Amino acid sequence: MTVVVAGPSKASSDIARGIAEAMGSRMVTVESKRFPDGESYVRIPEDLGGEDVIVVHTMASPQDRSVMELAMLVDAARGLGASRVIAVAPYTAYSRQDTRFLPGEPVSIAVVLKLLYASGSTGFATVEIHKEHSLRYYPGKAVNVRPYTFMARSIGLGGDLLVLAPDQGAIPRAEGLARSIDAEYDYLVKHRDRVTGEVVIEPKNIDVDGREVLIVDDIISTGGTIAKAAKSLLSMGAKRVNVMVAHLLGIPGSIERIASSGVERIYAAYTLPRVDDPRVSYIDVSSLIAGEVSRGFKL
Ligand code: R5P
C-alpha cells in the first residue's frame, strides 16, 4: 500500500490529497514550523516502515525553503523505514537554469535534483519540467508528466483551434497537444538576450487571420513572453488568443500584463499556489500525476 505524504503548503496538500484519492492511498499531513533564525522544521508524525511513500511538495516561492523541505521530508521518510520514497514536485524550481549560459554559472537544476537523490529519494516526478533532458541529472528514475492533453480534454478544447508555441523550444508541447486534439499547430520565433534578458518576438508569416489561437507554454513568470506573442498574433488578425500553461508562478503584474496584451483566458495546471483572478482557470491535474507516478514506478 502506497502512502502519500503532503508537504507543508496548501497547494502541496491539495495536490497530495488528489493524488491519494486517485490512488486510493492514505495521506499523511506533516508537522512544520520555522525556527527563530528562519530555518525550517518538518516532521512526519506516522510510522512508514516498509511502505512505498510518495512525498508531494511543490517548489513554490520561497523556492529555496520548498526545495529544502522536500529534501528533508524525503530523509524523514527514509528515517521512518520507508522502502521506496518518490519525491513528487508538481513544480520544479530552478529548472530554467539547465545549463551554464555564462562561464561561472551553476547548473542549478542539477543541484536540486542531486540534492533530492542524496537525501534518499529513489524516484522523482514532476509536471512539465522546462527541458525534459534536465531529468538526466537525477541519478535514479524520473518521470515528467505532460499535462496539456489532459487539460484540453478537461476544458473540452479542440476543433478549429490553432495551437501555437511561443518559441521553438515549445514546439513539442504545441505539436503533442495539437495532434491529440486534432488541431493545427505552429510557432513563433523568440530571441532572449542572455545579458539584458530582453525578449524579442520576431515576426513570422503565420496565417492567424480570423483564427482562434491557444498559446501553449510551460511557465508564466513575468508574463512578458506570452504578452509579446499575443500582441503580435492579434496584430496579425487572430480572432481570439487564450493561453495554456503548466505553471503559473503568480508574480505580481504578470496576469495584468498578459490580459492587457489581449489574452482572454489563462488555463493553468494547479501545480503552484492559486492566484485569485477571474481571468485564470485552474485545472486539477492530481489524478493525471497519480496515474503517471503509479505507472512509472509500478506502484
Ligand atoms: C522560456 O524558455 C520559457 O519556456 C518561458 O517562455 C519563459 O520562461 C516565460 O517567462 P516570462 O513569463 O517571464 O516571459
Is 269 within a domain? no
- Please say if the pLDDT value at position 203 is more than 50: no
CB distance 3 to 49 below 8 Å: no
Please report the atom of ligand 1 found closest to the CA of residue 199: 14
In terms of domains, do 74 and 201 share one?
Answer: no
In terms of domains, do 16 and 135 share one?
Answer: yes
Dihedral angle over CA of 57, 58, 60, 64, nearest 10 = 60
Is 41 within a domain? yes
Q: What is the mean pLDDT of residues 150-178?
A: 91
Which residue has 491535474 as its cell numbers? Answer: 285
Cell of 142: 524520473
In terms of domains, do 136 and 153 share one?
Answer: no
Rounded distance between C-alpha atoms, residue 268 and residue 252, angstroms:
16
For 126-163, write each residue's pLDDT tens digit: 999 999 999 999 999 999 999 999 999 999 987 789 99
> In the prediction, which pLDDT does 94 show?
98
Which residue has 500582441 as its cell numbers? Answer: 231
Is 271 within a domain? no
Rounded distance between C-alpha atoms, residue 277 and residue 255, angstroms:
8
In terms of domains, do 101 and 155 share one?
Answer: no
In terms of domains, do 101 and 47 share one?
Answer: yes
Please report the atom of ligand 1 found closest to the CA of residue 223: 12
% the chain with pLDDT above 90: 88
* CB 221 near ligand 1, within 6 Å: yes
Can you give the residue range of the structural domain that contains 74? 3-145+287-297
Rounded distance between C-alpha atoms, residue 173 and residue 153, angstroms:
15
- If you compute the radius of gyration of the chain from its CA atoms, what whole number of angstroms results? 20
In terms of domains, do 137 and 55 share one?
Answer: yes
In terms of domains, do 141 and 7 share one?
Answer: yes
| Domain harbouring 178, CATH code | 3.40.50.2020
Which parts of the chain are beta strand (E)?
2-6, 26-29, 31-34, 40-43, 52-56, 84-89, 123-127, 141-145, 162-165, 184-187, 189-192, 199-202, 212-220, 240-248, 266-269, 280-283
For 266-282, write each residue's pLDDT tens digit: 999 999 999 999 999 99
Number of domain units in the chain: 2
* CB 250 near ligand 1, within 6 Å: no
Q: Number of C-alpha atoms within 13 angstroms, CB side, residue 48?
A: 29
Q: Measured in angstroms, how far is the CA atom of residue 33 from the centroid of ligand 1?
A: 33
Q: Measured in angstroms, how far is the CA atom of residue 191 from the centroid of ligand 1?
A: 11
In terms of domains, do 158 and 204 share one?
Answer: yes
Which residue has 510518495 as its cell numbers? Answer: 54
In terms of domains, do 104 and 181 share one?
Answer: no
Q: Which amino acid is at 262?
A: G
Q: What is the mean pLDDT of residues 169-187?
A: 92
Residues belonging to the active site: 190
* CB 4 near ligand 1, within 6 Å: no
Is 276 within a domain? no
Ligand 1 site-directed mutation target among 109, 219, 244, 266, most atoms within 8 Å of CB: 219
* CB 18 near ligand 1, within 6 Å: no
* CB 266 near ligand 1, within 6 Å: no
CB distance 237 to 202 below 8 Å: no
In terms of domains, do 39 and 58 share one?
Answer: yes
In terms of domains, do 101 and 207 share one?
Answer: no
